[in-house]
Amino acid sequence: MAENNGAESTETHGTPRQATPSGHALPGAPAPKAPAPEEPTQPQAPLPPASDQAAPATVTATGNSTGAEPTLRAQQSTYLTTAQGGRLPTTDHSLRAGERGPVLLQDHHLREKITHFDHERIPERVVHARGAAAHGVFRANGAAKSICRASVFDQGKETEVFVRFSTVLGSRGSADTVRDTRGFAVKFYTDQGTWDLVGNNIPVFFIQDAIKFPDVVHAAKPHPTREIPQAQSAHDTFWDFVTLHTEATAHTLWNMSDRGIPRSYRMMEGFGIHTFRMSNDDGTTSLVKFHWKPRLGVHSMVWEEAQIAGGMDPDFHRRDLADAIESGALPEWDLGVQVFPDTEDQMFEGIDLLDPTKIVPEELAPVKIIGTMTLTKNPTNYFAETEQVAFHPGHLVPGIDVTADPLLQGRLFSYLDTQISRLGGPNFAQLPVNRPHAQVNDMQRDGMHQSAVHAGVAPYKPNSLDGGCPFFAGADQGALIDVPVAIKGEATREKPASFEDHFSQARLFYRSLAPVEQEHTASAYAFELAKCYEPVIRQRAVDVLTQVDQELAESVAAKLGLPAPGPLDLDPVDVSPALSQVGSEWPVSGRQIAVLTCEESDPHAVGALVDQIFDAGLVPLVVAPTGEPLGGEDGAVAIARTYFTARSIEFDAAVVVDLPAEPEPAVGVMFGELQRQGKAVAVLDSAMEAAVAIGLDREYEGTSRIASTGEALPALRSALSRHRVWAR
C-alpha cells in the first residue's frame, strides 16, 4: 500500500449535518465530518478541528510568536507512533514469550502506553474543579483610558482571551446545575503581559479574610465521614459554619436566591469581587470594582429545571455554551467598572471598599462600560486547555494593582502555591494555554517540565557576560509600577469595625428581589435546612434570618415546622433594583426554541419556520416521534430530539406545529413542565385542541394561539425578552 503524503482526504462520508436544505447546521456533531459505516482502512492524515474550535496561540515558552498554524501543535502523523515518533504495526497485543507465554519486560510500547495512562490525570482543583471554557476576544472602547494606562484598554484594541466558567464545590464529575457559586475567570493575553481577572458570579464572598478559606471550603465540601453530599451545600457542616460565622450571611443569601442556579453561563454576571487600584498615565489613582454584564441579561433556572437537568443532562451548562458557539450564537459580555476616589480610608458612601462581603449598589456608583468580550471558539482539547489553564489574581498589567483587601492578599499567595502543586512545578506558565503573548525574559531556569531552551550564561542581575541583558524597564517602556501606598499602624490580627456589619447588605439584597425571587429564596433555604440532621442547626439558621427579614425567617420556619421567631428592630435599608433579575428586557439571540411536530408535518412549513428561527439568531430544535428526517432525503428537515428524549429544560419556548395522533405521555409531561417553568408556548390553531387534550392550559398566560408558523416568533419574543412568563 502506498504511503499517504499527509494531505487530508477530501472524501466525505454520510450526509451533511444540517437542519434544513438551506444549510443551517445543528450543533453537537462530535467530529468535523460524518463517519463511514465501517472502520476506515485507507491511511489519511488526522482530521482538522471542527470549525467552531480553536487552540492556544502558537507562541514559544518565552512568549514569542512562531507564526505557525495552531493546528500544527496537534499530533500530525498519519500513522500510530511511540512518543518518540517510531511507527507501530499494532497496539492490540503485548509482546509475549510465545503465543501463550508471559508478557516481556522489553515491550517498550506497552510500558510507555500504560505508564502514560497511569499518569494522565493531574490533581483536580480543590475548588472550581468542574469547568467549561472558550476562546474569545476583548474589544476596548477607550472609556477606561482616563483612569488606567493598561494598553488592553486602548480605543479599539482587541485582545485574545480564554475564559473558564466553573462550579465551586463539586468534583470534576459532578453536575453542572447544582445550587452553587460559579467561577468566572478571564485570561487576557495582552501585549504587556498576561492579566487574569479571577472572579465569581456572586459579587460578595463568604469570608472577609483568606485565613478562613480552608474553613469555609472544609465546611462546604462533602462530609469526611461518608464523602457525601457531592456538590451541595444542603448538609450540616455547611450550615453549622455559616450560621456561626455570620459574615457569610450575604453570600449565603445570594446563593439561596435564583443566582445560585444560572440558566446558562451565557446569562450569568461576573464580578471581580475585590476592589482594585488603577493608575493612569499621569499617575493618578482610582479604586475600581469589575463587573461582567451579559448581553443576554441575567437569567436563572427554576428549581424544577435544575433537578431535571441534574438527572437528564448533568453537562447542561457546558453543552449549552459549546452549542451556542458552534451554532454562531456567540456569547457576549460588557466589561464595566465602578470607579471610586482613592481616599485614605478607602470607603465610599459608608461602605468599606476593602471588605469582600460588601457591594456598592449600582445606584450609588454606576457601572461604566469599558469594553466587550465575545466568545468565538470552543477549545480543541479539554485537558490541554480547560483543565490546564492556570489563573492567578496577581497576574497584572501596568495600570492595575491590588489593594489591601485581606481576602485578595491571601489569594495572591494561595493561587501560585496551588498551580505549582496541581501542575507539577513552577513552569506552568509554559503550558500552551498559559503562555503569555508578550515576550518573556524572566531569568528563571530549569525546574519540572521546563520546555524553553535558554541561552546565555548569566541568569542573574547585574551581569556583563550576557551584555547586561535583560535590562530594567521604566514607566515609558510599560513597566509594572508599584503604586506608593501609605501604611501605618501596628501589626495586629484585628479587623476594622466596619467589617463587623454582617447583615445590612444581606437585607439590601433580599429586599431588592422581586416577590417571586423572594419566594424562591425562602424555598431554597427550607430545602437546604431540611437536609440538615441536627435540629439545633436548623433553628440557628432561622434565628440568623431574623437579622435579615422577618417575613423570610417566618416563611422558612413554617416550612421547617419550627416556631416563628420574634421580630427584631432592624435598621431600614434602601433597595437596589439592579439586583433583581425580573422587570427588564434583554436580547433573545441564542435562545433555544422547541418545534413540536409529527410524522405528517409539512416539511416545507417546518423548514421555513426553522430557517426563520435560525435567521433571527435563535436555535430551533425540531422534536418528533422518531429521528427520521421530515420530508425524506430530498428537502429533509433534521430532527434534533424525539419526544422520548426531549425535556423542557433545553427549551426557552416552544412552537406546537403538529402533535402525533396518539402522543406519548412524555408530550403531556413537557407541556406541564413548560407551564410550571413559565415558558412561552405558541400553538397553531390546527394543533390547539390536541395540545389541550394532553395537558396544555389554553388560559395559561404564556399560551399564544397563532394562525401560521410565520406568527410564531412575534408571539414568543416578548416573553423571551423577559426570560419567563413571570405572572406564572
- Give the structural domain span for 409: 131-434
Domain end among 545, 579, 613: 579
* 422 labeled binding residue: yes
Q: Are residues 562 and 636 in the same domain?
A: no
265 is in an annotated binding site: no
Cα angle, residue 176 at apex, residues 172 and 181 outer, rounded to 5°: 90
Q: In whole angstroms, what is the distance from residue 307 CA to residue 242 CA?
A: 24
* Whether residue 425 is found in the same domain as residue 556: no
Task: Establish if 457 belongs to a structural domain.
Answer: no
Kindly state whether residues 528 and 604 are assigned to the same domain: no
Residue 610 and residue 546 in one domain: no
Contact of 297 with 24, CB cutoff 8 Å:
no
Candidates 24, 109, 200, 395; catalytic one? 200
Whether residue 118 lies inside any domain: the answer is: no
Dihedral angle of Cα 36, 39, 41, 46, to the nearest 10 degrees: 70
Q: What is the pLDDT of residue 634?
A: 62
The count of C-alpha atoms lying within 13 angstroms of the C-alpha of 160, restricted to the half-sphere facing its C-beta, is 19
Q: For residue 73, say whether it is annotated as part of any ligand binding site.
A: no
Cross-strand bridge partners of residue 682: 655, 704
Domain for residue 80, yes or no? no
Asked whether 184 and 165 are in contact (CB, 8 A), the reply is yes
State how far the Cα of 66 lies from the Cα of 437, in Å rounded to an integer.
11
From 579, 600, 616, give the residue that closes a domain.
Answer: 579
Annotate 448-467 with b (16+ C-beta within 10 A) or e (fewer). eeeeeeeeeeeeeeeeeeee
- For β-strands 285-294 and 332-341, DSSP reports them as antiparallel
Task: Report if residue 453 sits inside a domain.
Answer: no
The reply to whether 603 and 568 lie within a common domain is no
Verify that 530 and 639 share a domain, yes or no: no
The annotation status of 647 as a binding-site residue, yes or no, is: no
E-assigned strand segments in 602-640: 619-624
Is residue 203 assigned to a domain?
Answer: yes
Q: Considering its fold, how many domains does the chain have in total?
A: 3
Whether 152 and 185 share a structural domain: yes
79 is in an annotated binding site: no
526 and 649 within one domain: no
Residues 418, 535 share a domain: no
Instruction: Give yes or no: residues 648 and 679 share one domain.
Output: yes
Burial of 58 (0-12, 13-18, 19+ CB in 10 A): middle
411 labeled binding residue: yes
Per DSSP (E only), the strands in 598-664 are 619-624, 641-642, 653-656
Residue 222 in any domain: the answer is yes
200 classed as catalytic: yes
CATH (domain of 573): 1.20.1370.20
Here the CATH number for the domain that contains residue 692 is: 3.40.50.880
The CATH number given to whatever domain includes residue 215 is 2.40.180.10
Active-site annotation holds for 119: no
What's residue 38's pLDDT?
84
Give the helix/strand (H/E) hosting 319. helix 316-326
Q: Is residue 268 part of a domain?
A: yes
Q: How far is CA 133 from CA 53, 208, 331, 590, in A?
A: 11, 28, 12, 18
Grid cell listed for 482: 508599584
Q: How far apart are CA 315 and CA 322, in angstroms?
A: 11
Question: At a CB cut-off of 8 Å and minimum separation 6, what does 11 contact?
Answer: none
pLDDT beneath 50, residues of the chain: 1-16
Whether residue 283 sits in one domain with residue 205: yes
Report if residue 201 sits inside a domain: yes
pLDDT of residue 12: 39
If you write DSSP's letter for every residue of 331-398 in order, what string do you get?
-EEEEEEEEEE--TT-EETTEETT-TT----TTTSPPEEEEEEEEEEEES-IIIIIIT----TT---T
- Residue from 109, 128, 520, 723 carrying the catalytic annotation: 128
- How confident is the model at residue 9, as a pLDDT? 37
Q: Measure the CA–CA gap between 645 and 623, rounded to whole angstroms.
A: 9
Residue finishing a domain among 405, 434, 463: 434
**Shared-domain flag, residues 422 and 555:** no
